[in-house]
Every structure is written in C-alpha cells, then in structure tokens.
A and B are shown apart, each in its own frame.
Chain A
C-alpha cells in the first residue's frame, strides 16, 4: 500500500474552500497551530529531561485536524471528548496551557490536579470532557453526552475525536449504531494517521477509507485532507451544521500523519524515512503559512517573530508555571475516589 501523502484520495473529499475563513482568522489559526507544535515539542524536551513521566503521545503533524474542526464548532460550548493524544484538543477548547503543562508535570495546579497525567487532561468548565486511554472508549461516552444534550434540549453538539485504529473496537460499531437509531447530536471525527501504534492501517483494517465504514450505520460521512486546515474547516462546517440542525450523527474522516512515534517509547521503526519526509512536505503549518505569504497577508519575518514570541511564552510562562507549581499533598491520596459527604450514602433525608 502506498502511504505517501499522495495516498490522500481526491474522490469523495470535501471541496477545499479558501473563502470561508477571513485572513484574520487564518492568521490566528496559524498562530494556534504553531503554538500547538511548539507546546508539544517542549513536552518532548521535558520528557527527555524526565520532568514528565508515564506515556506521552504528541500531536505534532495533526494540528490541522483539531483546529479545523473546532474552528467550525463552538469550543467551550460544544462538548469535546478524545483519546490519549489530548493536550491540543483541550487547549483549543479553552484550557489554560499552563494547567495542561502542569498536569504533565503531575502538579496540583494541573488540569486534573496531577491525578490524570498526559492521557487524562480534563477541563470540564470548558466542556472538554477528557482524554481517555482505552482505545475506542470515548465512542459511547460521546453518544451519551449527546443523549444528555438532547434530553435537556440544548443547542450544543458532542464531538468525539479518535484515531483510525479505534474504529476496529466494538465500541465504534455499538456507538454508531445507537447514535443513529436514537438520532443523537454527535460528530465523530476520525483522525486517520495511518497507524495503530506500530501497525499500518492496511495490515489491520479491511476498509481503508474510514468514512465508508459509517455507511454500515446509515450515517452520513465526509472525508478531508487533514493537513490543510482550511479543507478541514470547510468539511467541518458542513458536519457541524448537519449535527446541530438535529439531523443526527455525522462521521468525518481526516487524512493526517503524526510526526513522532505513537508515544515517546516508540522509535518509528515500522515506517520508512522516505515516507516521513514525504509527509513533512505537507506540513499543516507550512501549508497555511505559505498560503498566507503567497497572498501577501504575512511575511516570513512576521512568522519568525510570531514563533519567537510563542517560544518565549511557552518557556517563561507555561513551563515556568509548571516547574514552580506545588506537588499534590500525599495526605490527599484518597481524595476524589468517591464523592465527599454525599447524604444518600447514609440514607439521605429520613
């Protein structure tokens, strides 16, 4: 199988639109994606320095997916849930990057008070409903959130981001089936990065085009180039509109590539350097940057200044906050296991 970028198929893909986003929006998105890249690369360094423990799954290369989709939705209002590659989805929903970094450092000031770690970022006040480490686990949770939205009559939608390999779990099939029969307002976004840990999609999956699998549940689906944030945005506008209008679930596949290994313990030995080089040529940040430069909306110097400013902010604000924050108190080890002082534990009002 050819897994070079050319593998991204044209037939059936959403029309790329260059007119939907304003120049201001595009410049902001460029900054956000660059921030995401620098944030993740700084996590890499902190991991190597052993400041971050456990498993660390980085998003570098896939930035256009979360940013393009959530740009079309209402972050902080719509509910978002994802797997373990979750830092950037949380930040795009409104999570404070300092709290996300502090979580990776295991600090009390972290998003999950240091109890979750990289794979379990939560920011419920921004309706980021968490990162989950069991592949495919969020499929039914997203449908359940959608059920709750529907019962309460809200305008929110539920958005679930997962990778292609999650579609081989039973939860994919069970959840899509129920989301359809109950007409739930849930958008399933498949970030197809071609690998399930170290196994390439054609060695694990009978149907390579993931959007086709939604047809098994009569769920409308689309596919877009996940390296082009404008294409993602254009496809997501249609997807979000479909779901928010009460038409039930939608499935959106985005063709993308992760630059780092599945996690930090992965050396990428299962894929060729040629393949990686080819995909690097379709870097989502470079694509948008070059487009803005070509349109005379940005200069290379401005881009470099933006990069320096981001690097400075991450170092002197985000990392500094994480480094200087306190550890959780060991006395609080058993806090958050069960609700505290729940009256019904003792029989409630009698």
Chain B
C-alpha cells in the first residue's frame, strides 16, 4: 500500500484507464496543456496527446453533450467540470440526455460517461463557487452518483465508473485533493454501490459522505474520549443508488442515527437518508434521528460567516449528545 494524495489517486486512475483502452478520453477546461486545476490530469496531455486529453472551451453544456454523443459510439469520456457550480450549466445534457437515453431508447443506447467535479465550500470562494450539487444528481433516475471520501475510493471509484455502462457522476471536493491516504499498489475497482463502515461503534451511527465522513470521524474521537460514546461512522460513498441495506444494518446495531452533510438541508442527502431511517429503521431507533446540515443560505464570502454556514465535528458531537440525555456534561 502506497500513500498518495487524493489528486494523485485520481490521476493514476486516469492514466491506467487511458492506457487500458484507446477509446478512453478525458475532456474539460484546462485539463491538458495546463495539467488540470487540481492536477488530476497532470502530465497526461504529454503522454496521450490532444485527441485524447482535450482542452475544451468554457462551454459546459456543449462539451458535456459532446462527451455523451461520443459515448454513443463506444468512446469512454471522463469529463472534468472544473467546479460543480458550473455543472448547473450542463444539467440539460446530463439529466435530459445521459440519464434518460437508455430508458427512452428501450435499452438500445447508453451513455457510459464519467463526470467528475469538485463541489463544496473551500476558502472564501463566494456563493457561486461553493455550492454542492450531489443532492440534485442523486434524485435523477438513470444516473449513478458516487462521492469518494479518501484516495483509495477516489482511485477505485473512477476506475469502476470508466468501465461501467451507466453514466456516473463523481462528486469530489476542493478541500480534499491534497488529502493523503493508502491506495492499493495493485489495480483496484471499487464498487459503485454500497457503503463502508469507516469506524465501527455500538452506540450511534454517524452517516456521512465525502468531506463529512471526516467530520464524523473527528466527532467519533471526541465522543469516545470525552463522553464514552462509541460512534459508528458509515461512509455513504454511493449516493445513488443509496445503500439502504447498509444503513439498516448499522442502525440495527446502534439504534441511533445522525446524518451529516455539508449541503443545506432542504431536499438533500440528509433528507433522503432520514426517509430511509423513517421507512425502514423506525422500530430499531431509540431516539428521533438528527440531521447536521449547512445553514440554508448562499455561501457567504466573509470568513466568519462562511465558517458559521458549514457544519463541523463539534456540531456533530452536539447533535449526538442530544440523543443521550444526561451525558452532555
């Protein structure tokens, strides 16, 4: 197992898949000559050339549609959208074409594209560079949505997404590209469905994905150290389809649940997980499940306001303690 950064893991997956299949291409803004805003395609332009590592104009809906069209005839495009905020412009092609073409053609045509894009709030980037879109895409039938929380997942999910026949949206995070972690030395394909127990525990299930897994893990440390509460952290790396069985299994062990998301609460990942908890785990629960979410505001520029808008490990701890009356001393 080698230690590598999240961006290096993504770059490695690109490199291996480009080498494996001459019809794999990468496209996006500044991914070629410039090497990629987050270095995910660094050096690949030199190695694979301009026909396969394609610098696109700033035309998100257009180049996403071109990727989809190419996928109709056997090309496997990995499309990078520089910031998920720009993916709003491409929702027409992603939602109206990629997600629906298999169904509306009666199974004749599929769009095996991968769209990678960083979402989330970084450092004072303002309202139009800090949004999260995973909740939008996870509500679209015909689209798979995965979101890696560590370099191993980032590598393995991209590998599987490229090989899979379905369109896959990979939600990355601007703050996580320099995160270090272990990645298998041998080739590894991560499942596109399911969830992972990132930390076992018996007292409460913390359900997180992408960056919020890390807040959950920090919160679990604090809960164990300061409050004697053993939290289980469930990493929902697949948002669509959601691992309902995995959620049920964990909550059946712990009987309490807190969902943690970086996005604002309404109609969100947390809301969907709460529906699963309500519909499928009701009689396993000892206390009402809780959500920890962002404030329902466009993300502010001011540093203090920005920090206040986004949850952190302490917010998770407070939510958990609310489920254990008498132990929040």
A interface residues, Cβ below 8 angstroms from B: 79, 81, 110-116, 120, 122-125, 129-130, 132-134, 137, 139-152, 158, 170-171, 173-175, 177-178, 181-182, 335-339, 342, 344-350
A-B contact pairs, 10 of them (CB 8 A): A140-B66, A143-B66, A144-B72, A147-B69, A148-B72, A171-B92, A174-B57, A338-B102, A344-B160, A344-B192
Also in contact, A122 and B106, with CB within 8 A (given A342-B165, A345-B191): yes
Q: Tell me the bound Cα distance from A336 to B141 in angstroms.
A: 10
- Tally A-B pairs: CB < 8 A: 183
B108 within 8 A of A: yes
Who on chain A is nearest to B192 by CB? Answer: A345
Residue B147 at the chain A interface, CB threshold 8 Å: no
Chain B residues in contact with chain A, CB under 8 A? 22-23, 25, 51-52, 54, 56-57, 59, 61-75, 92-93, 96-97, 101-110, 141-142, 144, 156, 159-161, 163-166, 189-193
Which of A130, A151, A174 is most buried by chain B, counting CB atoms within 10 A of its CB?
A174
Chain B residue with Cβ nearest A132: B97
Q: Complex formed: what's the CA distance from A142 to B109 in Å?
A: 14
Q: Which A residues lie within 8 Å of B54 (CB)?
A: 182
Q: Which residues of A contact B164 (CB under 8 A)?
A: 339, 342, 344-345
B142 & A129 in contact (Cβ 8 Å cutoff): no
Please, how many angstroms separate the alpha-carbon atoms of A140 and B71 in the complex? 12
Determine whether the beta carbon of B106 is less than 8 Å from that of A111.
yes
Of A151, A170, A338, most buried by chain B (CB within 10 Å of CB) is A338
User: When the two chains form their complex, are residues B166 and A122 in contact, meaning their CB atoms are under 8 A apart?
Assistant: no
Q: Report the Cα distance A142→B97, complex, angstroms.
A: 12
Residues of B within 8 A of A348 (CB): 159-160, 163, 189
Closest 4 pairs (CB-CB, A-B): A144-B69, A140-B65, A174-B62, A113-B106
Q: Are B74 and A148 in contact (CB under 8 A)?
A: yes
**Residues of chain B within 8 A of A139, CB atoms compared:** 62, 65
Query: Shortest beta-carbon distance, A192 to chain B, in Å?
Result: 22
Given contacts A178-B59, A342-B164, A342-B166, 18 further A-B contacts (CB under 8 A): A115-B106, A120-B104, A120-B105, A123-B108, A130-B101, A130-B104, A139-B62, A141-B97, A143-B69, A144-B66, A144-B72, A148-B23, A150-B51, A174-B59, A177-B62, A178-B62, A344-B192, A349-B189
A144 CB contacts on chain B under 8 angstroms = 65-72, 75
**B102 pairs with A337, CB closer than 8 A:** yes
For residue A16, give the distance in angstroms from its CB to the closest CB of chain B. Answer: 33
- Point out the residue from B56, B71, B141 that lies within 8 Å of A178, measured CB to CB: B56
Residues in A whose Cβ lies below 8 Å from that of B74 = 148, 152
Query: Whole-angstrom distance between the alpha carbons of A152 and B51 in the complex?
Result: 11
- Measured in the bound complex, the distance between the Cα atoms of B109 and A338 in whole Å is 11
Looking at the complex, which one of A81, A178, A346 makes contact with B63 (CB distance below 8 Å)? Answer: A178
B56 CB contacts on chain A under 8 angstroms = 178
> Which one of A141, A152, A337 contacts B69 once the chains associate, using CB atoms below 8 Å?
A141
Structural contact, B57 and A151, CB atoms closer than 8 A: no
User: Are the C-beta atoms of B96 and A134 separated by less than 8 Å?
Assistant: yes
Do A147 and B63 touch across chains, with their CB atoms under 8 A apart?
no
Assess whether B61 is in contact with A140, with CB atoms less than 8 Å apart.
Answer: yes
What residue of chain B has the Cβ atom nearest to residue A124's Cβ? B108
CB pair B70 A148 closer than 8 Å:
yes
A19 to chain B, nearest CB (A): 36
Q: A116, A173, A175, A350: which contacts B104 (Cβ < 8 A)?
A: A116
Known contacts A134-B92, A348-B160; is A147 also within 8 Å of B66 by CB? yes
CB of B166 within 8 A of CB of A145, answer: no
Separation of A146 and B51 alpha carbons in the complex (Å): 13
Closest residue of B by beta carbon distance from A115 = B106
List the B side residues contacting A113 at CB < 8 Å: 106-107
Q: Are B110 and A115 in contact, CB atoms less than 8 angstroms apart?
A: no
Q: Which of B66, B75, B191 makes the CB contact (< 8 A) with A347?
A: B191
- With both beta carbons as reference points, the residue of chain B lying nearest to A175 in the complex is identified as B62
**What is the CA–CA distance of A139 and B92 in the complex, to the nearest angstrom?**
13
State the Cβ distance, A254 to closest chain B Cβ, in Å.
23
B93 to chain A, nearest CB (A): 7
Question: How far, in whole Å, are A342 and B189 apart by their CA atoms in the complex?
Answer: 13
Q: Are B189 and A116 in contact (CB under 8 A)?
A: no
A146: nearest chain-B partner, CB-CB: B69
Nearest neighbor of B65 in chain A, beta-carbon distance: A140
Closest chain B residue, CB of each to CB of A158: B69
B110/A141 in contact, CB under 8 A: no
In the complex, what's the smallest C-beta–C-beta distance from A131 to chain B, in angstroms? 9
Closest B residue to A348 by beta carbon equals B189
**Contact of A124 with B105 in the complex, beta carbons under 8 Å:** yes
B184 CB to nearest chain A CB (Å): 10
Residues of chain B with a CB closer than 8 A to A147's CB: 66, 69-70, 75
- CB-CB nearest in chain A for B102: A336
Asked whether A122 lies within 8 Å of B109 as measured between CB atoms, the reply is yes
Please name all residues of chain B whose beta carbon is closer than 8 Å to the beta carbon of A115 when the two chains form the complex: 103-106
The residue in A115, A347, A349 that gathers the most chain B C-beta atoms within 10 A of its C-beta is A347
Known contacts A122-B106, A151-B25; is-contact A344 B163 (Cβ 8 Å): yes
User: How many whole Å from A47's CB to the nearest CB in chain B?
Assistant: 20
Using A139-B65, A337-B141, A338-B102 as known contacts, say yes or no to A346 and B109 having CB atoms under 8 A apart: no
Q: Which residue of B lies closest to A121 (CB)?
A: B105
